[in-house]
């Protein structure tokens, strides 16, 4: 299906990258990195030049999110997946409660379940539904996912938790674009290859003093084995010196810093406003066409970072996605593989422009209505 469909020239987006991560890194940022010549790439990450970029990025993140002054921006290698293990090993006492609404939140739960001394509990909804986290009595850790990238569900509310409990948020695909009240959050972490338009293999973890204290307390527990590379204390100590425990990809930090600067020029309010405008465009379009439907029924849970839109079974979403990729005009709009739906999943990240999304809606409409 769709083999003979050709995208008209006037509808060709200025950038084909609509994926939900790795996402669109601006070509200007790549060119800017090339212009740094001998100064960054291939130099020591413990020296001034790189540490200055790290520091600028950490301070930029603090400014963007208007973080409370005693919160820290902790960084390291490995990305969100590695953090799931690092969190289980070094931040949870015994009883985490996980709120699960898709593949990524489920993977975090499963990672913690593998640790013999943890007793994770789970509140789970069918994929496609949303769930807001709540404090559960007896839990020392509440785990939730800001934006479930596999289904396109976002959180709409966060609970208050008591002093002996941490609220942790996997913000990987929502960070920067879905606003939260940081005073409620103890650990807010993300890999930067989504809204923050960098590469993978790296994490940013925004920690409250309570989370730092918990990490330090668990680190002193000699009965608990934590591999060196998973130690929060190493990550915290190095981050305080604008470094990572082991060698990072400097380009990843560079791109992240460029994106933080770009978004700071507008400020979080304006970035979020634009994200909502793009989400309105996509869901409005899906509602206006008989052959489309937003996958997430409850509006408050419909993501403003990742749009999931079902296509009538008469047409094959995968075939269209493949045809558009083969023409080099639209990349990576396929559904999450394991979800197995006839669906488009589209990144509404900051660098994906409203104009290009508008063109994408016109391309899909034209292709389907041509059949």
Instruction: Write out the residues near ligand PLP by the rule CB under 6 A.
Output: 21, 79-81, 104, 145, 149, 170, 172-173, 191, 200
Contact (Cβ atoms closer than 8 angstroms) between residue 77 and residue 243:
no
Residue 187, Cβ density class (10 Å: 0-12 exposed, 13-18 middle, ≥19 buried): buried
Quote the least distance from Cβ 145 to ligand PLP, whole Å: 5
Closer residue to ligand PLP (CB): 178 or 368: 178
Quote the least distance from Cβ 41 to ligand PLP, whole Å: 22
Closer residue to ligand PLP (CB): 172 or 361: 172
Q: Which of 9, 23, 10 is nearest to 353 (CA)?
A: 23
Find the Cα–Cα–Cα–Cα dihedral 308, 309, 312, 317, rounded to 10°.
Answer: -70
Closer residue to ligand PLP (CB): 55 or 81: 81
CA atoms of 139 and 200, how far apart (whole Å): 31
Closer residue to ligand PLP (CB): 43 or 81: 81
Quote the least distance from Cβ 81 to ligand PLP, whole Å: 3
Residue 258, Cβ density class (10 Å: 0-12 exposed, 13-18 middle, ≥19 buried): buried
- Give me the helix-helix angle, 354-369 and 268-288, nearest 10°: 10
Quote the least distance from Cβ 55 to ligand PLP, whole Å: 23
Closer residue to ligand PLP (CB): 347 or 368: 347
Quote the least distance from Cβ 196 to ligand PLP, whole Å: 11
Sheet holding 343-347, edge to edge: 292-294, 306-311, 343-347
Quote the least distance from Cβ 327 to ligand PLP, whole Å: 26
φ, ψ at 337 (rounded to 5°): -50, -50
Closer residue to ligand PLP (CB): 179 or 289: 179
């Amino acid at each position: 299906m769709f083999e003979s469909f050709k995208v008209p020239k006037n509808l060709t987006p200025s950038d084909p990258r609509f994926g939900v991560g790795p996402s669109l890194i601006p070509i200007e940022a790549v060119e800017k990195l090339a212009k740094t010549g001998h100064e960054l790439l291939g130099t020591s990450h413990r020296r001034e030049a790189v540490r200055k970029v790290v520091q600028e990025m950490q301070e930029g993140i603090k400014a963007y999110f208007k973080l409370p002054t005693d919160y820290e921006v902790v960084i390291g290698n490995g990305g969100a997946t590695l953090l799931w293990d690092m969190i289980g090993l070094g931040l949870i006492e015994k009883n985490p409660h996980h709120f699960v609404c898709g593949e990524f939140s489920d993977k975090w739960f499963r990672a913690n379940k593998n640790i013999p001394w943890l007793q994770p509990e789970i509140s789970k909804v069918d994929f496609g539904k949303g769930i807001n986290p709540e404090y559960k009595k007896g839990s020392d850790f509440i785990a939730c996912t800001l934006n479930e990238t596999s289904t396109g569900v976002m959180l709409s509310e966060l609970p208050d938790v008591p002093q002996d409990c941490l609220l942790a948020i996997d913000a990987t695909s929502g960070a920067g674009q879905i606003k939260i009240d940081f005073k409620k959050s103890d650990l807010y972490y993300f890999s930067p290859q989504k809204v923050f338009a960098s590469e993978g293999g790296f994490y940013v973890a925004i920690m409250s003093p309570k989370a730092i204290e918990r990490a330090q307390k668990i680190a002193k527990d000699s009965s608990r084995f934590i591999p060196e590379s998973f130690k929060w204390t190493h990550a915290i100590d190095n981050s305080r010196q604008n470094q990572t425990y082991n060698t990072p990809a400097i380009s990843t930090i560079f791109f992240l810093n460029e994106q933080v600067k770009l978004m700071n020029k507008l400020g979080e309010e304006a970035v979020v406003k634009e994200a909502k405008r793009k989400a309105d465009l996509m869901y409005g379009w899906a509602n206006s066409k008989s052959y489309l439907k937003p996958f997430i029924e409850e509006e408050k849970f419909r993501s403003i970072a990742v749009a999931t839109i079902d296509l009538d079974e008469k047409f094959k979403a995968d075939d269209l996605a493949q045809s558009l990729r083969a023409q080099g005009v639209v990349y990576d709009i396929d559904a999450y593989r394991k979800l197995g739906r006839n669906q488009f999943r589209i990144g509404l990240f900051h660098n994906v422009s409203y104009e290009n999304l508008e063109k994408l809606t016109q391309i899909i409409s034209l292709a389907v209505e041509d059949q």
